[in-house]
């Protein structure tokens, strides 16, 4: 769900307040993608798109077990909880929402790290159903600014 994470963060922030905590909590888990791009020296836009769509071809896993897991959600939410439990709750909830949105993607995820249980969905990255879902979320986001 390439764009869905940020859109869901915007929608939740518009409806529940604490906009930046919802938004950041919904996109921070993808910071591991940037690390993988840097680590494997993938810098051209076309290669980035291709490697994200066909991870197995590049022998990559953009969703690392440290960040795309409940463990990662706890560790990265802890500093926010130190600032405020309310903001920490929203950030953590948005983080878990990100993980939930990633569930249908067919790539391998380790949500229960340090346990070695693998999760894998059924949809290819940026598949037709995912694009339709993203358009639906865009419409909801537009409504969230007005209602």
| pLDDT tens-digit series, residues 39-93 | 999 999 999 988 888 888 888 889 999 999 999 999 999 999 999 999 999 999 9
The pLDDT of residue 55 is 85
User: Chain-wide mean pLDDT for the chain?
Assistant: 94
The span from the CA of 93 to the CA of 36, in Å, is: 25
Give the pTM. 0.93
Domain that holds residue 61: 4-146
The pLDDT of residue 52 is 86
Query: Percent of the chain beyond pLDDT 70?
Result: 100
Q: Are 31 and 113 in contact (CB under 8 A)?
A: no
Name the domain count of the chain: 1
Can you list the positions of beta strands (E) in the chain? 108-109, 119-120
To which residue do tokens 């358009």 refer? Answer: 135
The span from the CA of 100 to the CA of 5, in Å, is: 10
For residue 2, pLDDT over 80 is answered with no
């Amino acid at each position: 769900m390439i764009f869905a994470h940020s859109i869901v963060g915007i929608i939740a922030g518009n409806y529940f307040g604490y906009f930046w905590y919802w938004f950041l909590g919904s996109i921070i888990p993808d910071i591991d993608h940037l690390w993988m791009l840097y680590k494997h020296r993938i810098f051209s836009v076309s290669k980035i798109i291709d490697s994200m769509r066909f991870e197995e071809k590049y022998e990559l896993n953009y969703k690392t077990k440290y960040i795309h897991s409940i463990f990662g959600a706890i560790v990265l939410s802890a500093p926010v909880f130190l600032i405020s439990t309310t903001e920490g709750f929203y950030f953590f909830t948005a983080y878990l929402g990100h993980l939930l949105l990633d569930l249908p993607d067919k790539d391998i995820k380790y949500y229960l790290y340090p346990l070695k249980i693998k999760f894998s969905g059924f949809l290819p990255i940026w598949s037709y159903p995912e694009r339709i879902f993203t358009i639906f979320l865009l419409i909801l986001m537009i409504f969230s600014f007005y209602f």
